[in-house]
Amino acid sequence: MKTIDELLGEGVEGKRVFVRADLNVPLDGTTITDDGRIRAVVPTVKALADAGARVVVASHLGRPKGAPDPAFSLAPAAARLGELLGAEVAFATDTVGESARTTVAGLADGGVAVIENLRFNAGETSKDDAERDAFAERLAALADLYVGDGFGAVHRKHASVFDLPGKLPHAAGYLIATEVGVLRKLTEDVRRPYAVVLGGAKVSDKLGVIDHLLEKADRILVGGGMAYTFLKAQGHEVGISLLQEDQIPAVKDYLKRAEDRGVEFVLPVDVLVSTEFPDLKTKAPANPATVAADAIPADQEGLDIGPETRKLYASKLADAATVFWNGPMGVFEHPDYAEGTKAVAQALVDSPAFSVVGGGDSAAAVRILGFDETAFGHISTGGGASLEYLEGKQLPGLVALED
């Protein structure tokens, strides 16, 4: 895989460089609530601009239906990128139309432009190879070189991620190079003990990675909504907690395989429960109760791991040499249910382990809960991409960047 440093060494002055970034940031209206993904691409964009390239930044945001939707405009992300670069960033109001062509044509050496949300064009995400290829051709007309730096999208077979690199000389940006290097540390020559913390809502989202990690990890800690399917598989009452009944056979199999292989599977011993889901807008007090994990009342819902589980999980992480964490331990967006996620984050900060926070809600939680990002070994920008890499899958966006 060619690196951006090699590309810079060959000279990029005056050349149009298409940077496939991941600017898929959370928005409250037009206000960005977490700019982590924008900050992550700044080193690549700045290096190209400083070398005299004419940089064309492209990304998706949200899930528009293949047509323009103001709610998913990249305009706020473009403005924030300009602030971070300390330079004006031009913005094209379409993807491959007149605005994009005019905006790119107007770039001076060292200039930066952002084109509108790629998913405003149905060709970006089309499952039809010809439709996707046709859109990629139109994107290719905007550039001379391609740099892939949107790690959060490399597991998608989309036009700008998979098809476009084949039409232009290409290289991997700094972010993708860093992400891949970190993930290799989780799959090759891993320092042990190797602990994995998995949370989030659905166990089905993590089936593949659990299956793969049973061959790699020394211990797996489970929290979040997915924990209740594990507790149910052990025969416990879970009340009205999030539950995927259809996954119970698979979960039972994982628990048995873990036991056979000597992999320690750690589940909550107590949880915070309530009869109703908290109001995440008003953050009104929820007044949860703490109960044993095997004694959840039939009319109650588990919403966070309890205090004893927090201590247990911290102890299981204290001696780890490598930790991968993906998924919050509870409804961290509400202060009454944030302590479990906060405890895991603090345990990683306190541990000497090489710690990787696997993107998505986990990365957002670290920032929202006020932790110093530099206290962790690495915070990934791509939760889904990280998980699929750890499952051993080939990621289309990485395959496309290989020479």
- Is 191 one of the annotated binding-site residues? no
| Helix (H), strand (E) at residue 31 | strand 31-32
Asked if 199 is an active-site residue, the reply is no
Per the annotation, the verdict on 202 as an active-site residue is yes
Nearest Cα to 122, choosing from 68, 70, 62, 72? 68
Nearest CA among 102, 101, 5 for reference residue 48: 5
Site of tokens 């044993």:
292
Q: Is 333 annotated as a binding residue?
A: yes
Q: Is 281 strand, coil or helix? A: coil
Distance of CA 164 to the CA centre of its chain: 22
Q: Per the annotation, does 62 bind a ligand?
A: yes
Question: Cα 73 vs. chain centroid, distance in angstroms?
Answer: 20
Give dist(CA 55, CA 87) in Å, integer. 13
In whole angstroms, give the CA distance from residue 269 to residue 362. 22
Is 257 labelled a binding residue?
A: no
Residue 23 assigned to a binding site: yes
With contact defined as beta carbons under 8 Å apart, do 22 and 381 qualify? yes
Helix, strand, coil percentages for the chain (3-state, nearest 5): 40, 15, 40
In Å, the largest CA–CA distance within the chain is 67
User: Residue 372 class from Cβ within 10 Å (0-12 exposed, 13-18 middle, 19+ buried)?
Assistant: exposed
- The active-site residue, picked from 223, 225, 340, 384, is 384
Given the residues 15, 16, 20, 37, select the one marked as catalytic.
Answer: 37
Rounded Cα–Cα distance for residues 237 and 336 (Å):
23
Which residues in 88-206 belong to E strands, given as ranges?
89-92, 112-115, 145-148, 170-172, 194-198
Q: Does an H or E element contain 10, and which? A: helix 4-10
Residues facing 219 on adjacent strands: 195, 264
Q: Phi and psi of 253, rounded to 5°?
A: -65, -40
Q: Binding site annotation covers 255?
A: no
- Report CA-CA distances (Å) from 37 to 33, 80, 181: 11, 11, 18
Q: Would the annotation count 24 as a binding residue? A: yes
119 is in an annotated binding site: yes
Q: Which of 360, 382, 383, 397 is catalytic?
A: 360
Is 14 annotated as contributing to ligand binding?
no
378 is in an annotated binding site: no
Among the listed residues 138, 202, 252, 257, the single catalytic one is 202
Q: Is 382 annotated as a binding residue?
A: no
Establish whether 302 is an annotated binding residue: yes
- Please tell me whether 359 is known to bind a ligand: yes
361 is in an annotated binding site: yes
314 closest CA partner among 280, 340, 283, 287 = 340
61 is in an annotated binding site: yes
- Residues annotated as catalytic (active site), given as ranges: 37, 202, 360, 384
**Binding site: what residues are annotated?**
22-24, 37, 60-63, 119, 156, 206, 302, 333, 359-362
**Binding site for ATP: what residues are annotated?**
206, 302, 333, 359-362
**Binding site for substrate: what residues are annotated?**
22-24, 37, 60-63, 119, 156
